[in-house]
Amino acid sequence: MGGRRVVVTGASSGIGLALTRRLLAAGENVVAVDRAACPERAVETLIADLADAAALGRALSALTGPVHALANVAGVPGTAPAELVLAVNVLGARLVTEALRPRMGAGASIVNVASVAAHRNVLGEPAVDALLAVADRAGLADWLARHPLTGPQAYDTSKAAVVRWTRALAGRWVGSGVRVTSVSPGPVETPILEDFRSTMGSRRIDHAAEIVGRHGDTDEVAAVVAFLLGPDASWVNGVDIPVEGGLLAARAARETVTADGVMATSRWRDG
């Protein structure tokens, strides 16, 4: 790595800022896309709200030259209205990717930040595919009229959509040399962790830390994203990588399914 141009959305805080600092340390040229300027002076920030397609398009049009990697990190928690959550987490990420894809050649990489919350999505694949086909905010409103969701439900669905979209793009572009992967963090110490306490309940968030010993750190997630963006991950494509300290495995180990389909406490609970 070093000397490439990497675009990072949501680079002003949290995982996006941790990733930006890691990339800068590796000698990369980072361009941020966010509502607020990235605090790192070496970073060029394109100011734009990912929920505003017109403003986003204007900001991205100012970017010239090649793009070697893209990290779609920006996201809105479930404390926001459902339409805004979907507009940023799904439609905004798609608009950025579609705008920058023509600037990306063989060897380029796209990493989308999803979440383990994708497992909580209550909608089936046809509904998620319909969401991924939405082209604008009017389409989002129509989709939500058919699939009413609360803000927290929209967050879960948005992340399930990101994982599914990642796989679809990887399959579509597999012969082009452009890789697409996603990462699904568990609870991470970021400014929006309190939002997740509000939407998911403090007990659930605290219990996750009890199971694996602590919450994650932004740099731990950023390290995985940076690896996937770089050439050392050249044979990793079309997959979602959980970055959650073993939370899902620990939860699975505490429960088993008996022959008649009844959930039972695992004998490995204390192992």
CA distance 77 to 38: 20
**CB burial of residue 143 (10 Å; 0-12, 13-18, 19+):** middle
Given the residues 68, 127, 155, 186, the one annotated as active site = 155
CA distance 230 to 228: 5
Q: Is 155 a catalytic residue?
A: yes
CA angle 181, 154, 257 (to 5 degrees): 75
Element (H, E) at 211: helix 202-212
CA distance 138 to 145: 11
Closest CA to 177 of 254, 234, 251, 226: 234
Q: Which residues contact 161 (CB under 8 A, 6 or more apart)?
A: 89, 90, 128, 131, 132
110 within 8 A of 70, measured Cβ to Cβ: yes
First to last CA, the chain: 41
Query: What residues act catalytically?
Result: 155
